[in-house]
């Protein structure tokens, strides 16, 4: 059985290999554009009347080396410039992302017991991971079990969970989810994702240039000199851009899956309780809504969520998250679903939460009372083994006892 440190090391090594492949994909796009530029030059080489026609190899051999060099530099600079622009647009503070999805900020002194429990768990994981406490948000309209961390760096990071997460998961499971999100903050996964998305935009821009060249030649007339090679060059750039985009997205999804493995293993490190993260993943599989996000920005943020937030075409290839079973096996090889579900502490009992219900606040108070009452979960949802730490005496009694 691999330890969580070994799982972290494996995920880091795989990430490095995939990022290298991502870089090579970009280099391949640059070389392909160079080939198009060389072909365009070779097409327009004039041969004297009566002279022997040059072979294709001879034409390409006549292309100046400087053209390839400046073509590569120009293409790389173009991709870099477009990427930098998109990174600047995407690197807005975590608060902007939270507001984009309609999340509500949770006050540090909230009196809602479910939110109070969330704030306490976030503070605990902050201590365990050594990361400053992020601003906490709740997505009230989401019934699925999910969460995400956002922000370009630690200083402006936020952590948001869905209402379904609060009302479905018990305290241990919530700790597992929050520990997972703290790993994303600690290891700079948000910054890595933004940079990779920026590079994708640069590759797409190459295809957009090709599309522009094709459109510009449509009205030039069939006998216009030079129209055909420019049109073909535009078509080639269009294909290069979108083929490059396909493989870059493929690699990006694979990188995202490895970072999820790393975050799962880090969650076990922070909580020292594999049942927490494994149980949370199991509850996603058992919940009717799973981890799906209903908001219109779900696809834009799909790589940031704790669980698969959207249904993906070509499942497996473009999945931003590994399969639930695989994730559970990585963090807890001896996890027994049936026995866990029989013995797990429920979070709030069977409460039907409906946003349009006029009595929703009363229902939530009743649900929260189930936690604070400690009937099924012990003191504030702690595991049974932790109940021995409960002191149960007032501050005055403690003072008299210790003098």
Q: Which residues are catalytic?
A: 181
Residue with tokens 């799909």: 302
How far is 285 from 130, CA to CA, in rounded Å?
Answer: 31
Q: Do the beta carbons of residue 267 and residue 331 sit within 8 Å? A: yes
The first and second tokens of residue 248, run together, are 């870059």
How far is 69 from 86, CA to CA, in rounded Å?
Answer: 26
Q: What secondary structure letter does DSSP report for 289?
A: T
Q: CB-based contacts of 247: which residues, under 8 Å, 6+ apart?
A: 25
Residue with tokens 């910054």: 191
Could you give the angle at which helices 274-286 and 227-271 cross, rounded to 10 degrees? 120
Q: What secondary structure letter does DSSP report for 162?
A: E
Q: Do the beta carbons of residue 402 and residue 392 sit within 8 Å? A: no
How far is 209 from 205, CA to CA, in rounded Å?
Answer: 6
Q: Do the beta carbons of residue 205 and residue 78 sit within 8 Å? A: yes
Q: Do the beta carbons of residue 118 and residue 110 sit within 8 Å? A: no
How far is 361 from 270, CA to CA, in rounded Å?
Answer: 33
How far is 33 from 21, CA to CA, in rounded Å?
Answer: 18
Helix and strand numbers (H, E) in the chain are 14, 4
Q: CB-based contacts of 191: which residues, under 8 Å, 6+ apart?
A: 152, 153
Q: CB-based contacts of 357: which residues, under 8 Å, 6+ apart?
A: 363
């Amino acid at each position: 059985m691999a330890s969580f440190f070994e799982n972290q090391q494996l995920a880091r090594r795989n990430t490095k290999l995939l990022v290298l492949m991502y870089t090579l994909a970009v280099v391949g796009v640059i070389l392909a554009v160079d080939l198009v530029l060389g072909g365009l030059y070779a097409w327009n080489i004039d041969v004297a009347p009566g002279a022997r026609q040059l072979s294709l190899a001879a034409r390409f051999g006549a292309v100046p080396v400087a053209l390839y060099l400046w073509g590569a530099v120009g293409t790389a600079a173009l991709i870099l410039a477009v990427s930098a622009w998109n990174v600047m647009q995407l690197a807005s503070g975590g608060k902007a992302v939270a507001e984009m999805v309609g999340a509500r900020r949770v006050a540090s002194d909230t009196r809602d017991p479910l939110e109070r429990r969330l704030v306490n768990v976030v503070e605990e994981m902050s201590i365990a991971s050594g990361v400053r406490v992020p601003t906490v948000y709740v997505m009230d309209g989401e019934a699925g079990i999910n969460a995400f961390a956002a922000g370009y760096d630690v200083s402006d990071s936020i952590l948001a969970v869905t209402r379904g997460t609060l009302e479905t998961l018990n305290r241990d499971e919530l700790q597992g989810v929050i520990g997972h999100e703290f790993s994303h903050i600690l290891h700079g996964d948000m910054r890595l994702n933004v940079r990779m998305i920026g590079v994708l935009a640069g590759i797409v821009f190459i295809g957009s240039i090709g599309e522009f060249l094709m459109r510009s030649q449509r009205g030039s007339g069939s006998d216009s000199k030079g129209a055909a090679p420019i049109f073909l060059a535009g078509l080639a750039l269009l294909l290069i851009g979108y083929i490059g985009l396909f493989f870059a997205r493929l690699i990006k999804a694979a990188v995202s899956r490895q970072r999820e493995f790393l975050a799962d293993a880090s969650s076990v490190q922070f909580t020292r309780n594999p049942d927490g993260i494994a149980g949370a993943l199991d509850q996603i599989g058992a919940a009717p809504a799973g981890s799906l996000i209903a908001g219109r920005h779900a696809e834009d943020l799909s790589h940031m969520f704790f669980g698969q937030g959207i249904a993906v075409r070509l499942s497996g290839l473009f999945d931003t998250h590994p399969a639930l079973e695989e994730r559970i096996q990585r963090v807890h090889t001896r996890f027994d679903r049936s026995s866990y579900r029989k013995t797990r502490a429920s979070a709030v009992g069977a409460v039907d939460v409906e946003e349009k219900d006029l009595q929703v606040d009363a229902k939530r108070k009743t649900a929260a009372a189930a936690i604070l009452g400690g009937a099924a979960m012990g003191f504030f949802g702690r595991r049974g083994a932790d109940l021995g730490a409960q002191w149960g005496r007032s501050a005055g009694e403690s003072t008299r006892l210790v003098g």
